[in-house]
Each structure stands twice: as structure tokens, then as C-alpha cells.
Structure 1
Amino acid sequence: MSYQEVKIADLQPGSYVVQVLRQNGDIIVKHAGWVRTAQAVAQLRQKGVLVVLTDPDKQLLQKAPVEQAAEKAAEPTPDVTSRALFSDEQPKAERALVQVQKVQRQMLDAVRSNNNIDLTLVYEVSAGLAESISRNQDVLLCLSRIAEQSDALLQHSINCAVFMAAFARYLNLPPHKIQSLITAALLHDIGKAITPDNLQAEDHAAIPASLTALSKTTNLAGDISLWISQHCAHLDGSGSPKISAGQIDKGSRMLAIVNYYEKLSSGQHSKQGPLAASRSLLERTPHQLDSELAQLFIKCIGIYPPGSVVKLSSGKLALVLENNPKKPTLPKVKVFYHSSHQHHIPSKIIDLSRQQEEQVDSCVELKKYGLDVRNYF
């Protein structure tokens, strides 16, 4: 049976919603799923949804409450959110990023001085990142990518936290789990701050120092230390510690992907562009990294992530502002420079998915042109 258009007034609990077709608002359904209750239908109506696309073959039959609860836990429900405009979210995301930079710097300084860490502040900024991502993830992804810190450890941990916030949100995880994963991303390399030798050490070699530093805190959730301890493990057992797929938690697998990708795509660690970084990430699957999660992560942040610079088919350079999940090779960009003519051009925002003249030719490193990406955001 084919999909059916259903007016919101006719939508029944148990329907499987695939897509919002018409609305008064700006609702995004990131994950198809069942609308199980009358309250869920009412929520869609309140947010301005007029018509949805449903799959009649997946209509749920009314079941006992215990069965309904079990299915609700096992199956994703539609992730319905109002997406904030880029310009509206920008000042809020900037404040969240400044705050996390401040707290992360304090935390690293505390570890270097052998003082205890105040995780209350870490949890607060983790919640702030999660809230910004929930409104519009592309803004924070863009800001963190173009930011430059003199402290490489500081920048790596913050970038990982922003990636993790977007990734966990994309997977539709519960809010408390998202916040814990962001915190783990901020803390996973904390032991490297203790000595210069640790700073240069391989990631797995610094894990004991990180766990020792975190053991001095009184309110560290157990799952956070577990994810940190396992984030250098490989599914085939070749990593550290020497455990294999069945023993590696999902959160640890996510942290491994985020950590590896950030190192590949960060200007301070690698010369690879985001496209090459995604390819390298996939090359590590399925033996070292989780293949399904790696593919979902790339879908989440995009082939050309916000904050990256691309050269268009015309030779114009453009800053990627927003990812396009449905057409990942056609993001929304802001052009500002012509690489062939070597001069600036009037900046203009272009949605590549809504025109046919331009397409992405390649990713570029803007410093090769003597330009600073922060001047064009």
C-alpha cells in the first residue's frame, strides 16, 4: 500500500508519520515514527501541522498498556521540533560557546594545578550546548569549527562536545543521556592537561590519567567514566583496552567516532578536509568503528559540515552555513570570494538545493588564500 495524506483533524493514535506535508509553522520530523497517543496528535496540531504523510501498513493495533509501553521504549517516535532561524540562534549559540570555553579552561587549569574539578559547571554548560543544538544545530557546528584557540586541547574537547551534542540529538536520545554524552566529550582527554608528556601521548595512554583526575570528583556519573575508559577500544579487539564489540558500550562507540573525526578534520591536528575525513572514518569500519553509527554521524553533520569552506563550480569560495539532510551535497552557503579572479565579491547566501547554476566542486583550506574564515561569518 502506498503512503497516504492525512489531515491533522483525521490523524489517529497509532498512525506512522513519515513526513509533514503542510503546516503553518516550521516543524521538522527528523525520524519517522508512530504517533501513539491523542496528546501527541494534539501537540502536532498546536505546532501548526495541517497535513501529514502516513504509512497505513504500519498502523498500530490497540494493545494492552504493558505492550504499548514496551513498544514505545523500543521504537522511535517522531522527533518534532521548531527549527530556529540561523540569525536568531546565532547570538544564543555564541553565548553558549563562550560559556563552555570559560568553564573548560577553568577545568583544564584545575587539573594542571592538581585541584578538584567542579562538575556542576560542566553539567551546566553541557545542558547549554544541548539546548542550542536542539534549536538549530548548524549554528553551533559552524561557530565551533571556525573558532581558533591557542590551547589545542581546549579546542579539541569543545569541538568533540559540539559534535557529540549534534550526534546524540540526531539519534533522538533522551535529554539526560545527551547531556551525559556531551560531558564525556568535554572530559575524555582531561588527563592530558596534567603534564606536557601526557599532552603528547597517544589517546589510550592518557586514559588512566583522565580517570585518576576524574576520580577526585564526587558527582561523576558512572556511565561517563565508562565511555571515557572505552573510547579507544576497537570492535575487533585491537584497540585499548583489549575488549571487543560485545563489551563496548554504545556511548563509547559514539565517543570514538566523534574523537577520531575531530582529529581528522581539525586544522590543528590534520590537513584533511571534511570530505576526506568522512572517508577515513568509514575506512575504519567495521573492524575498529561501528559502521552504522559512523554513517549516521556523517548524515548528521553533513558531507560539507557547517563552518567548512567550499569552492563552487564557478570558482567562488563559500562558507557552509547549513547542512541539507535530504540533499547532503547541496548545503546552504555564503559566497564571499572568487578564487580565479582573486578578489572579494559581495557576500550572498545561496541555497544550492534551490538553483542549478552552482554546485560544490571541492573543500578548500581558506588560509591558502591568505584569508581568515572568521571574517566571513
Structure 2
Amino acid sequence: MAYQEVAIADLRPGDYVVQVLQQNRDVAVKHAGWVRTAQAIELLRQKGVKAVLIDPDKALPGTTEESQQAQPETPSATEPAVKVPFSDEWPKAQRALQQTQLVQRQVLDAARQQHHIDLTLVYEVSAGLADSISRNQDVLLCLNRIAEQSDTLLQHCISCAVYMAAFARHLNLPDHKTQSLITASLLHDVGKAINQAKLQEEDHLAIAASLHALQKTVKLSGEVSLWISQHCSHLDGTGSPKISERQIDKGSRMLAIVNNYEKLTSPLQGKLGPLAASRQLLERTPAQLDAELLQMFIKCIGIYPPGSVVKLSSGKLALVLENNPKKPLLPKVKVFYHSVHQHHVPPKILDLSRQQDEQIDSCIDLKKYGLDVRNYI
């Protein structure tokens, strides 16, 4: 059964809430959970929740006054999450990314055929990406960077969504806001799917087509449309549309940063390394991009994002696995090849912050050595 939109006044004990759709207060509320008591529903109403999306298939049968006295499992305020070990999160992140790829293909196909886009699926995968990032963002960032897709538009949208999930969490934004930002990242370029010629055009030329493709879509929040419409605007009034700095929403500024960073660093495009891309984007502040937000984004994903391949001072090649927020130049890496002697070395995980012998010399494109990074995970 499809998800259903329900006003808070019509929400009943036993309903399973998938997402908060309307909320007039900036309060962090989880996207999913059962509401077992009338008191839990009243708490949501007090938090400013106006409407939610429920999954009728997960409704609890036979919810009685007695059972409602049990400990409620309700959407509640976000609590700091304990970081899940890299290896434990890997299979979960893989599933989240695979599901996102499947849904994004459906979205782009629907746009090409000018069909209705099912946002309930988009909301679901957005929540999945947010959950994985909350457990251990390094895993999903690594998986996404080493992924290879023949569809450049598909990979761009998904990569933007992964970066946005990490960015929003770093800023400690409410869950409903984070999920909307991820959704906007997945949808911001759907207009390019309509015509192959649009793939070669400047981003701002596809905004109208993207908004047109989405206008028939129900449950699309106004803020998602706003962020998509403004993500090519510049703070100095240039860009498109040409609006003033104070008119550009924070979400639009975040989407602009994520969109530009992904285009510069995409392995499919074969352009700049992460460090060079960050420097180029910093040169575009404060005229075009928000300087404070950009600094936060770079700190969030790291100077050498997980999934990057680096050459160490010894000449050995290594895959970046985990960021080190306190020492961004010294992440945790996995050594696997010696570029000078041109042979593999026994795989070894090094925490560069805990030893003196190795430092990162540069980011490299592993394809130049005839190697596939996916073989060294």
C-alpha cells in the first residue's frame, strides 16, 4: 500500500510515521517510528507538526488503551549517535546506496518520459542516506566515491545527495530539514534527463525544465523547489536568477556548494582532486559562494575525502578510509601498492596521525596505474 499523508489531527495510536511533511517549528524530529499513545501524538502537535506521511502496512493492529500505556516508540528529538565501526556500517551503507541508485534511475526515467515522479520513494531513500551518514559518514562517502556509473547524471545527483547528507549532519540541522535537502539534491537536475542536449548545457539553463518536471508532483515542499530554483544564483547578484544575497536561502547556498564541488571532483569527469577543487571553490568566495558554509563543508568531508586515493611520502599508494576531524591532513588509510617499485604490497591500515614515517604527498588517479580502486576495499 502506498504511503498516505495524514494531518496531525487525524493521526491515531498505532500509526507508523515515515516522515514529517509539515512543521512550523525548527525542531529535530526523527523520520520514522510508531506512535503508540495519544500523549505521543500530542507531543508531536506541541512540536509544531502539522502533517505526516504514514505507512499503512506497518500500522499496529489492536492498539488499545491498555497497550498505549507501554513505552512509546515515537518520532522524537535527535540524540547524538555513537559512531558505528567502519566494517559494521559497510553492508548497510551499500544497501542504502544501491536503493538510492535504483530509485534515482526511476526518477530520471520518469522525467525523460514526462511521467509522474513518485516522491514517496525519494523520501524513503533520502532517509536511508541520512541514517547511514548518522551512523558513520566515512563509509557512505567512501562507497559513493569509488562507485562507477555509466550514467553521469545519475551519479552526479546521487553524489550530491551523499555530500548533502554529510553536510547537513555536520551543521546539526533537524532531521526533516536534512531529508528535504537530500531530496533537493537528488532532484535538482532532473530537467537534464528530458533532453540529452541539456547534459552539455550550463546548469542554470536546466532549472526551468527541472521545476516543470516536478510541478505535477504531489507532496513536493516549497523549500525544495526554492533551493532548486536558486542553486545557480551568486551572492554578488550574478548567476541565475539574478537576486540579491539576502534573498538566497541557506539551503540554496548549501546546494550550490555541493553541486559545484561534485562537478569538479567527479571521477567520471576526470577533473580536479579534492584539494585542488576546494582551493578553486574558495577563490569563488565571497562573490559567488558562501565563505562560512564552504569552510564548514570542507571540514565536514575532509581535505582528502574517504574513497580518495593518495600517494604517501614513501611512494606507496593508499585508499583513504576515514577522516580525522582534528588532524584533517592525517586520515586513516589503507596501503596497497608501491608506485615506485610498481608492485602490490601487503594491505595495511595506517592511522597517519599516530605515526611519523608517512605523510600524504598528493591525490592521484588510480586509473593511471591501470588499477581499479574497487579491488582494494
- Given the two structures, how large is their TM-score scaled by the length of structure 2? 0.79
Distance apart, 1:79 and its partner CA:
7.1
Instruction: Report % sequence identity.
Output: 76
Residue 217 of structure 2: aligned partner: 217
- CA deviations over 1:67-101 (Å, ceiling 9, x no partner): xx9xxxxxxx9973200000000000000000000
Native 8 Å contact 2:148 2:268 kept in 1: no
After TM superposition, the structure 1 stretch with the greater mean CA deviation from structure 2, 109-118 or 223-232, is: 109-118
Which residue pairs with 2:170 in the alignment?
Answer: 170
* Alpha-carbon separation, structure 1, partners of 2:296 and 2:320: 20
Q: Does 1:198 align with 2:198?
A: yes
Aligned pair 1:81/2:91, yes or no?
no
Distance 1:195 1:85, change over 3 A: same
Task: Write the deviation string for residues 271-314 of structure 1: whole angstroms up to 9, x where unpaired.
Answer: 21111011011111000000000000000000000000000011
SS of 2:254's equivalent in the other structure is: helix
Aligned counterpart, 2:312: 312
Report 1:173-322 matches (<5 A): 173-322=173-322
1:145-189, Cα deviation, whole Å (9 max, x unpaired): 000000000000000000000000000000000000000000000
Tell me the distance in 1 between the aligned counterparts of 2:249 and 2:270: 28
Give the corresponding residue for 1:131.
131
Would the aligned equivalents of 1:191 and 1:208 in 2 still touch at CA under 8 Å? yes
Contact 1:234 1:289 survives alignment (8 Å): yes
User: Secondary structure in 2 aligned to 1:84?
Assistant: coil
- Report the AA paired with residue 204 of structure 2: H
Instruction: Describe the superposition over 1:171-215 as per-residue Cα deviations: whole angstroms up to 9, x where unpaired.
Output: 000000000000000000000000112222110000000000000
- Aligned residues between the structures: 302
| CA deviation profile, 1:313-335 (whole Å, cap 9, x unmatched) | 11100000001000000000000
Which residue identity is paired with 1:155? Q
Give the Cα separation in 2 of the matches to 1:275 and 1:186.
Answer: 25
Q: Please list, as runs of the form range in 1=range in 2, the aligned pairs for 1:103-142 lying within 5 A after superposition.
A: 103-142=103-142
**Displacement of 1:264 after TM fit?**
0.5
The residue aligned with 1:145 is: 145
Query: Contact 1:79–1:172 at 8 Å: present in 2 too?
Result: no
RMSD over aligned CA atoms reads: 1.3
1:99 match: 99
Asked if 2 retains the 8 angstrom alpha-carbon contact of 1:188 and 1:228, the reply is yes
8 Å contact kept, 1:263–1:270: no
Residue identity matched to 1:169: R
Given the two structures, how large is their TM-score scaled by the length of structure 1? 0.79
CA distance in 1, matches of 2:211, 2:219: 14
> Any idea what the Cα deviations from partners look like across 1:100-137, whole Å, max 9, x if unmatched?
00000011111111111000000000000000000000
The residue number in structure 1 matching 2:332 is 332
Code of the aligned partner of 1:110 = A
Task: Report the equivalent of 1:360.
Answer: 360
Q: Within 5 A, what are the aligned runs for 1:51-90?
A: 80-90=80-90
Say whether the 8 Å CA contact 1:191–1:213 is kept in structure 2. Answer: yes
Report SS of the residue matched to 1:288: coil
Shift of 1:268: 2.1
Structure 1 stretches of 4+ moved >4 Å: none
Following the alignment from structure 2 to structure 1, what is the Cα–Cα distance between the partners of residues 307 and 267? 12
Structure 1 residue 375 and structure 2 residue 372: aligned? no
> Does the aligned pair in 1 maintain the 2:104–2:186 contact within 8 Å?
yes
Counterparts of 2:144 and 2:121 in 1: how far apart (Å)? 19
Structure 1: segments with no counterpart, 5+ residues: 1-68, 70-76
Residue identity matched to 2:85 = L
SS of match in other structure, 2:81: strand
